[in-house]
């Protein structure tokens, strides 16, 4: 580095940092806690993706509140206060806790004209079978039974088709209207429902704080008066995940930092060297956050937790500089370790940057965070630390001598019959365990919700008869009318499976809207009923001929009323069913048949056999899709890890020629043994174990490179040992993380780095 370049490099670096920080932090940084954002962008067709998004939104943007107590009146008096508390929040778009006084009037006004066009499957089949008498008997029972609550219009609708239509349009949620309130049926204690619709993203930390704080306040107030407030919704899971991530960020970051500081104090017995070592780490982490914000718009909380582990990697460069500075002058220090620093940076960046090619947005973000953090830490060490240590004195470190003495006593690896046999045995055994392990691609790898919250969610869904199932049938056609016809034919085959409990109940658009052709047929069927049984019915009811003519005239007037799909969507009373219609960018029309429970493997098999006869229908299982995605990309990440190893191997072969095996063997063997250990401990390998191997490679290669470049002097062995220890502190804590992604990642690095540190001395030359 020329003198002129030395003079301008540091000011340019500081100016670049200042500019980057200003651009990134001029506004408050945004953070993301959604586990789903770690997954790859969908490669589905637009219609499929729209259906998935719409189905997910119907659950994610809602929050269910159940108020339970011993006294109906007390709950009814409390409900307005609870609803008002949430209505006052900007983050809540709508609060439904009672039925509007004019709801039934609007319902009658909007749907009564189509009472003969929209028939349920039972009425339609009975009319086809000419079982006209049962309709007459039903009307007579309603008229003469003292227990009947249905009011029939014997002129406009003598056979009560609108009453059936009303039952058909009711929500599938297990509730009844009590004094206009939403009361849950068949519960041990009186229980009332409040439904919240959020106006913001449930993964937004601001939305979580506002809504969850209000929930906790209301729960405390209701508890004081003997009532219980339970809640269900995606926002609760998002909040639990965010809190867990925040806790682990603070505990992992603080715990690793305190452990590193303590170790460094014991080694250097001075505070200034520790500050100098942590300075590049701080610059690296802040710069990584700034770059991530500028590139991605926000930082995932798991990326920050992952960044806590970056402490154990980026401190490596500062450790080597400070350790070397205790043995060499300011003029000789940097030149003596610069080749190792350069190769160490290049190999680590290669190892980390391979994640950028992973199709996971979260992993791409982690890769950018890591690469930017490492490079900025490296530049801080090379440009700033020489200036800050100009007046430092040379003073050997006692523990370095002790560690070096131990290292020289470690037996060196010699290729003979015994060592070859042992090596082949260990490698073969590891490969056997790995090959016989179960790969883990289940979406539950991403599950962060505590069991108590999952159990509460399950109980509330059972009480309400709802489900957050992401399994549904998608029917795609050129028009909605054709979709409804296909859906009607399909649901006729599904209903018997629901009756014998093979399939869970489902919601379908065809239960609420018939195709145009079916509506015409429905009128014709009802017309046959009128001709066959209207005179008999009116005679039994004591109605005269004039009234019978009025009834026939009302039917003829209604015969022209047809409800189009477009008109159906405009009706206010159908708001709860609109998400059964899918519109997408490719101009296709689609409907979904949404299941209200989980489809087991047997049910899925039977269902797939049925829908195979419908070319426009397909079963969508989002959980299975995500698991398949994890499987696909586990294979791709395996290839990327292999590519990273090969790229680094080529680089180091160019540098070390025939001695390259001494550098690469420890991390390669450590990776192999780590995978076998993980398979034994956790039953199999997943994508996050493989990503952990990239860190094992990066840190392990640093160790071999520095030991080779420095001819294994005592200060270098001290530095690589401290680097391994600090990394173990950081990633060792990750291994105990409750977040599965971080746990699998940390466990791999913990085992791998321990093995690398133990094996590296055995690969050194005899004369070193």
| C-beta atoms surrounding 27 within 10 Å | 8
From 489, 636, 480, 651, select the one nearest 569 (Cα to Cα). 480
Give me the residue label for tokens 């992973």: 358
Describe the chain by its helix, strand, coil percentages, rounded to 5.
70, 10, 25
Distance of alpha carbon 608 from alpha carbon 628, whole angstroms: 18
With respect to residue 645, please indicate whether it lies within any of the assigned structural domains: yes
Q: Which two tokens stand for residue 67?
A: 């108020």
Phi/psi at 588 (5° precision): -80, 155
Q: Which residue pairs from 429-434 have beta carbons closer than 8 angstroms and sit at least 24 positions apart in sequence?
A: 429/676, 430/672, 430/673, 430/675, 430/676, 431/672, 431/676, 433/676, 433/679, 433/680, 434/672, 434/675, 434/676, 434/679, 434/685
Bridge-partner residues for 229, per DSSP? 67
Going from the C-alpha of 78 to that of each of 74, 90, 183, 572, the distances in angstroms are 6, 22, 14, 28
b/e 210-229 (16+ beta carbons within 10 angstroms → b):
bbbebbeebbeebeeeebeb
pLDDT of residue 312: 54
Q: How far is the C-alpha of 79 from the C-alpha of 72, rounded, in Å?
A: 11
| SS3 readout for 294-343 | HHHCCEEHHHHHHHHHHHHHHHHHHHHHHHHHCCCCHHHHHHHHHHHHHH
- Domain assignment of residue 700, yes or no: yes
User: Pick from 376, 247, 404: which is nearest to 313 by CA?
Assistant: 376
Structure tokens at 757: 């540190």
Half-sphere exposure of 646 (CA within 13 A, CB side): 6
Q: Does residue 178 lie within any of the structural domains?
A: no
Minimal CA–CA distance to 666: which of 635, 638, 706? 706
Domains contained in the chain, number: 1
End-to-end distance of the chain based on CA atoms, in angstroms?
Answer: 30
Answer yes or no: are the C-beta atoms of 285 and 310 closer than 8 Å: yes
Place of tokens 């950081």: 730
CB 165 within 8 A of CB 152: no
The reported pLDDT for the residue numbered 215 is 93
Q: Which two tokens stand for residue 508?
A: 């379908």
In a domain, 524, yes or no: no
CA dist 715 and 678 (Å) reads 33
d(CA 595, CA 622): 13
- Separation of alpha carbons 540 and 86, rounded Å: 54
Residue 768 has a pLDDT of: 44
Give 10-residue mean pLDDT values along the chain (768 residues): 67 87 78 63 63 70 89 91 92 85 75 86 87 89 69 84 72 73 86 88 82 93 92 85 74 75 84 86 88 84 64 75 82 82 80 71 81 89 87 80 82 78 87 82 68 80 71 87 89 87 84 88 92 90 88 87 85 79 72 83 87 88 74 74 78 82 87 91 83 78 79 78 80 77 84 89 65
Q: Is 687 within 8 Å of 675 (Cβ atoms)?
A: no
DSSP calls for 421-460: HHHHHHHHHHHHHHHHSPP---GGGG--S-HHHHHHHHHH
Kindly state whether residue 362 falls inside one of the protein's structural domains.
yes
Dihedral sign (CA 514, 515, 517, 519): positive
* Cα atoms found within 13 Å of the Cα of residue 282, Cβ hemisphere only: 7
CA–CA distance, 462 with 458 (Å, rounded to integer): 6
| Radius of gyration for the alpha carbons in the chain, expressed in angstroms and rounded | 35
User: Does a structural domain hold residue 673?
Assistant: yes
> How far is the C-alpha of 269 from the C-alpha of 291, rounded, in Å?
35
Structural domain of 369:
3-32+270-436+625-763
Q: Is 75 left (phi over 0), alpha (psi -120 to 50) or beta?
A: alpha
> Is there a domain that residue 379 lies in?
yes
CA 473 to chain centre: 22
Residue 255: count other Cβ atoms within 10 Å of its Cβ: 17
3-state secondary structure (DSSP) of residue 65: strand
What does 599-645 look like in DSSP terms, one character per residue?
A: --HHHHHHHHHHHTT-TTEEEEEHHHHHHHHHHHHHHHHHHHHHHHH
- pTM to 2 decimals? 0.70
Which of 384, 385, 403, 407 is CA-nearest to residue 267? 403
pLDDT at 588: 74
Residue 224 covered by a domain = no
Q: What span, in angstroms and rounded, lies between the C-alpha atoms of 470 and 368?
A: 32
| pLDDT at 36 (0 to 100) | 60
């Amino acid at each position: 580095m020329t003198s002129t370049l030395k003079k301008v490099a540091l000011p340019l670096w500081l100016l670049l940092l200042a500019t980057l920080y200003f651009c990134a932090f001029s506004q408050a940084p945004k953070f993301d806690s959604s586990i789903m954002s770690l997954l790859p962008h969908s490669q589905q067709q637009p219609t499929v993706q729209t259906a998935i998004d719409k189905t997910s939104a119907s659950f994610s943007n809602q929050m269910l509140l159940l108020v339970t107590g011993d006294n109906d009146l007390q709950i009814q008096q409390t409900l307005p206060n609870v609803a008002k508390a949430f209505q006052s929040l900007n983050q809540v778009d709508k609060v439904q806790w009672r039925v509007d006084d004019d709801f039934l009037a609007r319902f009658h006004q909007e749907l009564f004209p189509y009472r003969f066009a929209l028939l349920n499957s039972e009425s339609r089949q009975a009319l086809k079978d000419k079982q006209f008498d049962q309709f007459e008997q039903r009307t007579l029972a309603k008229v003469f039974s003292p227990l009947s609550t249905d009011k029939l219009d014997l002129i406009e609708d003598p056979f009560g088709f609108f009453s059936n239509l009303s039952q058909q349009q009711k929500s599938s949620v297990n509730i009844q209207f009590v004094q206009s309130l939403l009361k849950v049926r068949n519960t041990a204690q009186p229980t009332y429902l409040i439904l919240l619709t959020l106006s913001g993203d449930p993964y937004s930390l601001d939305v979580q704080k506002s809504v969850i704080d209000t929930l906790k306040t209301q729960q405390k107030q209701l508890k004081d008066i003997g009532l219980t407030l339970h809640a269900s919704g995606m926002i609760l899971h998002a909040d639990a995940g965010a809190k867990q991530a925040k806790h682990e960020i603070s505990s992992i970051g603080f715990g690793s930092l305190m452990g590193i500081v303590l170790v460094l104090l014991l080694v250097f017995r001075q505070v200034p060297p520790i500050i100098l070592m942590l300075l590049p780490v701080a610059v690296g982490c802040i710069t990584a956050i700034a770059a991530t914000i500028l590139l991605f718009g926000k930082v995932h909380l798991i990326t920050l937790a992952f960044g806590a582990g970056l402490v154990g990697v980026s401190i490596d460069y500062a450790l080597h500089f400070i350790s070397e500075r205790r043995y060499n002058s300011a003029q000789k220090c940097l030149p003596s370790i610069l080749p190792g620093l350069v190769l160490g940076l290049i190999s680590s960046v290669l190892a980390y940057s391979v994640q950028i090619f992973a199709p996971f947005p979260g992993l791409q973000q982690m890769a950018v965070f890591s690469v930017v953090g490492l490079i900025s830490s490296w530049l801080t060490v090379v440009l700033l630390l020489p200036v800050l240590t100009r007046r430092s004195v040379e003073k050997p470190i006692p523990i370095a001598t002790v560690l070096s003495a131990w290292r020289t006593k470690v037996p060196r690896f010699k290729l003979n019959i015994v060592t070859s046999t042992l090596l082949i045995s260990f490698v073969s055994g590891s490969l056997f365990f790995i090959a016989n392990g179960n790969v883990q691609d289940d979406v539950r790898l991403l599950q962060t919700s505590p069991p108590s919250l999952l159990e509460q969610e399950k109980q509330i869904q059972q009480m309400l008869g709802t489900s957050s199932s992401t399994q549904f049938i998608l029917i795609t056609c050129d028009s909605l009318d054709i979709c409804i016809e296909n859906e009607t034919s399909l649901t006729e085959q599904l209903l018997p499976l629901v009756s014998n409990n093979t399939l869970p109940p489902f919601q379908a658009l065809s239960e609420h809207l018939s195709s145009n052709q079916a509506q015409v047929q429905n009128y014709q069927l009802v017309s046959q009923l009128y001709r066959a049984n209207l005179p008999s019915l009116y005679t039994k009811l004591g109605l005269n001929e004039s009234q019978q003519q009025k009834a026939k005239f009302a039917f003829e007037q209604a015969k022209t009323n047809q409800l189009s799909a477009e008109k159906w969507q405009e009706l206010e009373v159908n708001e709860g069913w609109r998400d059964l219609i899918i519109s997408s960018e490719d101009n296709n029309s689609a409907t979904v048949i949404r299941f209200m429970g989980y489809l087991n493997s047997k049910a899925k098999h039977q269902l797939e056999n049925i829908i195979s006869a419908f070319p426009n229908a397909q079963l969508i299982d989002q959980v299975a899709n995500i698991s398949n995605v994890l499987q696909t990309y586990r294979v791709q990440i395996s290839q990327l890890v292999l590519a990273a190893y090969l790229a680094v191997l080529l680089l180091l072969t160019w540098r070390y020629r025939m001695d390259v095996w001494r550098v690469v063997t420890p991390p390669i063997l450590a990776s192999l043994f780590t995978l076998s250990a993980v398979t034994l401990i956790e039953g199999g390998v997943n994508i996050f174990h493989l990503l952990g191997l990239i860190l094992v490679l990066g840190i392990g290669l640093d160790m071999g490179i520095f030991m080779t470049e420095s001819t294994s002097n005592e200060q270098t062995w001290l530095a690589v040992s401290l680097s391994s220890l600090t990394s173990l502190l950081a990633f060792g804590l990750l291994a105990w993380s409750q977040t599965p992604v971080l746990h699998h990642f940390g466990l791999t690095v913990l085992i791998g780095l321990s093995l690398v540190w133990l094996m590296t001395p055995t690969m050194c030359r005899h004369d070193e």
